[in-house]
A and B are shown apart, each in its own frame.
Chain A
Amino acid sequence: MSQPNGTYAFYPGCSMGVSARAYDQSFRRVAEVLGLEFQDVDDWNCCGATEYFTLNRLPAYSLVARNLSLAAGMGKEDLVAACSACYLNLHKTDSYMGKYPDLNEKVNRALAAGGLHYDPGTLRVRHLLDVLVEDIGYEAIGEHVTQPLKGLRVAPYYGCLVVRPESNYDPEYPTHLDDLMRALGATVVDFPLKTHCCGGHMTQISEETAYELLRRLLANAAEYNADVIVTVCPMCQLNLDAYQSEVNRVFGTDYHIPILFFTQLIGLAFGVAAEDLGFGAEIVPADEALKKIGQEEAPKPRTPRRRDKKALPMPPPLS
């Protein structure tokens, strides 16, 4: 464990208390079970999301750096964000300030006006998923599982921000969320679009673009018979959940795929009561899917699996 005492500075961001209350609630319960302590950054401000950086960069960086500076004052090594966009902005600001002395100088001049200062590299900015996978590990998480998610077919959706532009995971086809879900006993379906974009704030700017992106994700998950899509980001969850009926209306489709936060599933597997994990807040209801949990994998169609004599062998997965 990188934090000797298991404590982290935590940047909540704007969604956690509002649209992603289920994420906030479930992650805090899971942290309790795992004995991790997350201390919220006091007096934090918005990370600027995706828009501010495209409009006016210096104030955008300064806004984020203010959070870094406040967090650095807490004396923790790691600053953790649960939202992928917050994570990216914090990570990017820290990294760019270190890389570009000129930016560093200007941002710190802005911070100085508020009596603050931040030295890039002071904090390690991390996403919650990375903390659970790296610091706790699949095995230790598996040990806490009392209600394995047997029979639940999960499409692991990473979104486009957690593994790019810099991460320890394969940016094209990451598998750490897959492995984490497996550790909970779930069946993970192949999800080729796992790192494709959910449309972000495009829903507000160009619905057409956003709905097409969402349709692709839903179609892909449906094609692999996923019971749920699991996300690591409030934005992804909101888009897929809240606009699912719109997508159905526009494209004449009929998807009903619940969109859950990964911490909600961890909580369920740990035996935490569903109401303590924010279940019920989702727009596409999850109850049907959750009924499957605890069942063994649905029996395969009982046509005798005689191998077609002519079929060629498949390479086994990379161990």
Chain B
Amino acid sequence: MTEEKVGVYICHCGNNIAGTIDVEAVSEWAATLPHVAVARDYRFMCSSLGQELVEQDIKELGLTRVVVAACSPHMHEPTFRKACERAGLNPYLMEMANIREHASWVHQHDKEAATEKAKALISGAVKRALELSPLEPSRVPIQEATLVVGGGIAGITTALEIADAGHPVYLVEREPSIGGHMAQLDKTFPTLDCSSCILTPKMFDTGNHPNITLLSYSEVEEVSGYVGNFTVRVRKKARKVNTDLCTGCGECWSRCPAKVVDTVYEAGLGYRTAIYRPFPQAVPKYPVIDVENCIYFQKGTCKACEKFCPTGAIDFEQEDEILELEVGNIVLATGYDLFDARRIPQYGYGRLANVFTSLEFERMVNAAGPTGGKVVLRDGVTEPQSVAIIHCVGSRDKNYNPYCSATCCMAALKFGHLVKEKTDAEVYSFYIDVRAAFKDYEEFYNRVLEEGVHFVRGRVAEVTDAARQPGEEGKLIVQVEDTLIGKQRRIPVDMVILMAAMEPRADAEEIAHLFGVGCSAAGFFTERHPKLDPIATMSDGIFIAGACQGPKDIPATVGQGAAAAARVLTLISQGEVEIEPVRAIIDEERCSGCRICNNLCPYGAIDYIEDPGVSRVNPALCKGCGTCVAACPSQVITGQHFTFESIMSQIEGLLYDVSNGHETYAEPAPLETA
């Protein structure tokens, strides 16, 4: 074996590392380690000058291994791998020691210990680097088609962008129609353009685009594969309507005798029939039968829809269909749920008739909604003389969600304006802070202020119908501490609107699990990087867009939807993807064919080959997790880049004794091979 030459590079990361760790001392010490040819410290190793330093040393000093002691490899492993590659060194011979997250940040109070820990981490990294082998990534072709999950404005935007670029898209939507929450809204802040006027053309284009296969009333059941080559199983729920025959004429739902409160599209404020199309502009235009509420399905008789359908399109026997799709990339755009305001009982939603949620109110002011756009109390006729709008219901509240739900202040301003426009009512808006941060938003706030909406600063304590003073009888009383005047106030009103928070979908965690992406503590899907990559996820080839990533309004949603499309198009145009060589390989000569590893592999990446009776790893499916390596009774599976030798050496290095500078570990017993 030729003498290995290791270069060690210690990053100051400005003050992030150097403020706690004595980087010069660590650098001097590292230079004395066996095989280390050079050790340097530098202010920002990730800068181009820092990278050039590494490249120069590889070329001039003939380094054969590189150790970078800096931040998490999540952050900059690709950066330094590329630097090595540019200088002609195999990128898999570079090792990172994380002395920022693992040392300087967590031991700020104890500089000495942090410095010694950094040494231990570097010692481990150097030992491990010496055991690394050069590896070559493999390349596989990418499937051109993309799966978009969720047909709200986010998913619609992504699907149209990709389809317009000439590539096929499958758009899977759970509900009978695409449109999402935007389809429920009346006007949109801050310009007050009509939501369906700007959404409907996009929905139409989506439904009619030659490159988009719209799978509405469908859900993804299983996902396997990897970037470039996913296999997805989709359940297309039975509409009980033959869409080849249906013309969407509406004869069926106008004859349906079953009335059901519509908790989805009408947000509980209106009714629909059992066979229904959620709204007139629905895409696709076909109705579905809600089997649970259909009189025929529940009681065995009725069939009114079938009798009156002029084209014979009703099909009670229709079954769910299962489709298998091959796609290269996936975009999740599953949106949000509204916080269930009944969870805050002191605000009275569900108890006090004239307390409404924000989405109920959207439906109420919508000309196509249950009241024809009239602002009325729950009795359906009385116009309110006074309306309270309560901000931050279920958000900015440690009892429910600590985060700011971002869109509700603006929606509350919009509501204030709409109530003023449609009625003579006095409007009180109860806020903690009015957050109107983006383009033209503050201006809208000023406009609503001038229109005479009363803003009261304070979190509402309760909404009650228990009258206490004259003038309160028959009213809803909003009890609040007005923090600007420092007084408790009781404001009697006729109607209360609760600005409920945007929450992760109730099934967000299951969906995250299905697609192998993460969820934040709040439950929104986790992006790869909160600043530099809010669109990708930790799973290659899976992107997120819209409110499923965090509360956001339509402009931000559309921006992210288009960005996700751009990321997918980049991959498609590359034509193939690189597969990390960090994976397991089986020494087939010594494999006994026991197949223990086959079932243990969480990715289904190991197949048994009948002839010659051995197991084999599919490199494209393997994620290099190491389960099979640990399980193999004959120890003939190697985790590339994480070999037994490299791990043991790293542990030896980590056990470097910080107190006296000696290595304290015992020599490991030689590995017994079968």
Q: Which residues of A contact B (CB under 8 A)?
A: 170, 172-173, 175, 190, 192-193, 216, 219-220, 223, 308-318
Taking a contact as CB atoms under 8 Å apart, the answer to whether B269 and A219 are in contact is no
Instruction: Assess the B466–A317 pair: CB atoms within 8 A.
Output: no
3 nearest A-B pairs in the assembled complex, by CB-CB distance: A310-B380, A173-B345, A318-B342
With contact pairs A223-B466, A310-B381 given, residues A315 and B346 touching in the complex (Cβ less than 8 Å)? no
Main secondary structure of the interface of B (DSSP, over half): loop
For this complex, 24 residue pairs linking A to B, each with C-beta atoms less than 8 Å apart, are A172-B344, A172-B462, A173-B346, A192-B348, A192-B465, A216-B468, A219-B466, A219-B467, A220-B466, A223-B466, A311-B379, A311-B380, A312-B270, A312-B378, A314-B350, A314-B378, A315-B342, A315-B350, A316-B350, A317-B342, A317-B350, A317-B351, A318-B342, A318-B343
Contact partners of B468 in chain A: CB under 8 A: 216
Chain B positions 450-507 with a Cβ under 8 Å from a chain A Cβ = 462, 464-468
Chain A residue with minimal CB distance to B379? A311
Interface residues of B in 364-387 (CB under 8 A from A): 370-371, 376, 378-381
Report whether A315 and B268 are in contact in the complex, using a CB–CB cutoff of 8 Å. yes
Chain A residues, Cβ within 8 Å of B351: 190, 317
Given the complex of chains A and B, what is the CA–CA distance between A316 and B268 in angstroms?
9
B474 → A minimal CB distance (Å): 11
Chain B: CB-nearest residue to A315:
B350
Residues of chain B within 8 A (CB-CB) of A316 are 350
Contact B353 A314 (CB under 8 A): yes
Contact check: which of B271, B345, B353, B371 meets A170 at CB < 8 Å? Answer: B345
Smallest CB separation, B287 vs chain A (Å): 21
When A172-B346, A192-B465, A220-B466 are in contact, do A313 and B269 touch as well, CB less than 8 Å? Answer: yes
Residues of B within 8 A of A220 (CB): 466
Docked CA distance A190–B381 (Å): 25
Which residues of chain A come closer than 8 Å to B462, judged between CB atoms?
A: 172, 192
Taking the complex as formed, is B261 at the interface, i.e. its CB lies under 8 A from any CB of chain A? yes
Instruction: Please determine whether A312 and B345 come into contact, CB atoms closer than 8 angstroms.
Output: no
Identify B379's interface contact among A192, A310, A317, CB under 8 A.
A310
CB pair A312–B342 under 8 Å, yes or no, is no
- B112: interface (CB < 8 Å): no
B226 within 8 A of A: no
Q: Are A308 and B379 in contact, CB atoms less than 8 angstroms apart?
A: yes
8 further interface pairs, Cβ-Cβ under 8 Å (given A173-B346, A312-B370): A190-B351, A219-B467, A223-B466, A310-B379, A311-B380, A312-B371, A312-B379, A318-B343
Contacts of B343 in A (CB 8 A): 318
Task: Please state if B340 and A318 are interface contacts (CB–CB under 8 Å).
Answer: yes
The winner among B261, B464, B466 for most chain A CB atoms within 10 A is B466
Q: B380 near A308 (CB under 8 angstroms)?
A: yes
Residues of A within 8 A of B340 (CB): 318
Nearest B-chain residue to A172, judged by Cβ: B346
Q: Which residues of B contact A313 (CB under 8 A)?
A: 261, 268-271
Let me know if B543 is at the binding interface, CB within 8 A.
no
Q: Please, which residues of chain A bring their CB within 8 A of the CB of B269?
A: 312-313
Give every chain B residue within 8 A of A223 (Cβ-Cβ).
466
CA distance A164 to B513 in the complex (A): 39
Bound together, the chains give a CA A190 to CA B271 distance in angstroms of: 27
Shortest distance from the beta carbon of B581 to any chain A beta carbon, whole Å: 52
Of A170, A190, A310, most B-chain CB atoms within 10 Å: A310
Point out the residues of chain A lying under 8 angstroms from B345, CB to CB: 170, 172-173, 175
Question: How close is B293's CB to chain A, nearest CB, in angstroms?
Answer: 14
Q: Judge whether B349 is part of the interface by a CB distance below 8 angstroms.
A: yes
Whether A312 lies near B466 (C-beta < 8 A) is no
Residues of B within 8 A of A312 (CB): 269-270, 370-371, 376, 378-380
A311 B378 Cβ-Cβ under 8 A? yes
B473 — nearest CB in chain A belongs to which residue?
Answer: A223
Chain A residues in 8 Å Cβ range of B378: 311-312, 314
Assign chain B's interface to a size class: 20 to 34
Taking the closest CB of chain B, its distance from the CB of A167, in whole angstroms, is 13
Residues of the A chain whose Cβ atoms lie less than 8 Å from the Cβ of B342 = 315, 317-318
A309 and B346 CA atoms in complex are apart in Å by 30
Residues of B within 8 Å of A173, CB to CB, are 345-346
Q: How distant is A221 from chain B, measured CB to nearest CB, in Å?
A: 10
In the complex, A318→B344 CA distance in Å?
Answer: 10
Q: Which A residues touch B380, using CB under 8 A?
A: 308-312
Residues of A within 8 A of B467 (CB): 219
Closest A residue to B465 by beta carbon equals A192
Alpha-carbon distance between A311 and B340 when the two chains are bound, in angstroms: 22
Instruction: Return the chain B residue nearest A220 by Cβ.
Output: B466
**A172 / chain B contacts, CB cutoff of 8 Å:** 344-346, 462
- Contacts known (A314-B350, A317-B350); A192 close to B261, Cβ less than 8 A: no
Q: How far is the CA of A164 from the CA of B271 in the complex (A)?
A: 41
- Closest CB-CB distance, B632 to chain A, in whole Å? 48
Complex Cα distance, B11 from A225, in Å, reads: 74
Give the distance to chain A from B587, nearest Cβ to Cβ, in Å: 58
Q: How far is the CB of A199 from chain B (nearest CB, A)?
A: 14
Tell me, rounded to whole Å, the shortest Cβ–Cβ distance linking B490 to chain A.
12
- Report the bound CA distance from A314 to B352 in whole Å: 9
A170 vs B346: C-alpha distance when bound (angstroms)? 10
Residues of B within 8 A of A309 (CB): 380
Write the chain A residue with the least CB distance to B346: A172
Shortest CB-to-CB span from B148 to chain A, Å, is 32
User: When chains A and B are docked, how far (Å) is the Cα of A172 from the Cα of B343?
Assistant: 11
Measured CB to CB, the nearest residue on chain A to B266 is A313
| List of A residues within 8 angstroms of B370 by Cβ | 312
Instruction: Name the residue on A nearest B371 (C-beta).
Output: A312
Instruction: Report A-chain residues with C-beta under 8 Å of the C-beta of B346.
Output: 172-173
Interfacial chain B residues near A314, Cβ < 8 Å: 350, 353, 378
Q: In the complex, which of the residues B344, B349, B353, B466 contacts A192, with contact meaning CB atoms closer than 8 Å?
A: B466
How far, in angstroms, from A173 to B343 measured CA to CA in the complex? 10
Residue among A175, A216, A313 with the highest chain B CB neighbour number at 10 A: A313
Chain A residues near B270 (CB-CB < 8 A): 312-313
> What is the distance, in angstroms, from A175's C-beta to the closest C-beta of chain B?
8
Q: Which residue of B lies closest to A193 (CB)?
A: B466
Query: Are B349 and A315 in contact, CB atoms less than 8 angstroms apart?
Result: yes
Q: Which residue in chain B gives the minimum CB-CB distance to A309?
A: B380
Chain A residue with minimal CB distance to B350?
A: A315
The answer for the CA separation of A192 and B468 in the assembled complex, in Å, is: 12
Distance between B465 CB and nearest chain A CB, rounded to angstroms: 6
For A315, what are the chain B residues with a Cβ–Cβ distance below 8 Å?
Answer: 268, 342, 349-350
Docked Cα-Cα span, A216 to B344, in Å, equals: 22
Instruction: Name the interface residues of B311-346: CB closer than 8 Å to any CB of A.
Output: 340, 342-346
Taken together as a complex, chains A and B put the C-alpha atoms of A318 and B464 apart, in Å, by 18
The distance in angstroms between the C-alpha atoms of A173 and B271, with both chains bound, is: 30
Task: Given A310-B380, A317-B342, answer yes or no on A216-B350 (Cβ-Cβ < 8 Å).
Answer: no
Closest B residue, CB atoms, query A175: B345
The residues of B that contact A175 with a CB separation of less than 8 Å are: 345
Give Cα A223 to B477, complex, Å.
Answer: 15
Closest-CB distance, B131 to chain A (whole angstroms): 51
Q: Tell me which residues across on chain B come within 8 A of A219, comparing CB atoms.
A: 466-467
Q: Considering only CB atoms, which chain A residue lies closest to B344 in the complex?
A: A172
Separation of A313 and B259 alpha carbons in the complex (Å): 12
The answer for the CA separation of A307 and B340 in the assembled complex, in Å, is 26
Within the complex, the shortest CB–CB distance from A285 to chain B, in Å, comes to 26
A residues near B466, Cβ cutoff 8 Å: 192-193, 216, 219-220, 223
With CB as the reference atom, state the residue of chain B lying closest to A212: B468
- Distance (whole angstroms) from the CB of A160 to the closest CB of chain B: 13
Determine the distance from Cα of A314 to Cα of B354 in the docked complex, in whole angstroms.
Answer: 9
Chain A residues lying within 8 Å of B465, measured Cβ to Cβ, are: 192
> What's the nearest-Cβ distance from chain A to residue B405, in Å?
20
Beta-carbon contacts under 8 Å, B208-224 to A: none
**How distant is the Cα of A318 from the Cα of B268 in the complex, in angstroms?**
14
Bound-complex Cα distance A311 to B377 (A): 9
CA distance A175 to B345 in the complex (A): 10
Residues of chain A within 8 A of B381, CB atoms compared: 310
With a 10 A CB-CB cut-off, give which of B270, B340, B351, B376 has the most chain A CB atoms: B351
Smallest CB gap from A314: residue in B: B353
- On chain B, the residues within 8 Å of A193 by CB distance are 464, 466
Give B160 Cβ to nearest chain A Cβ, in Å.
Answer: 35
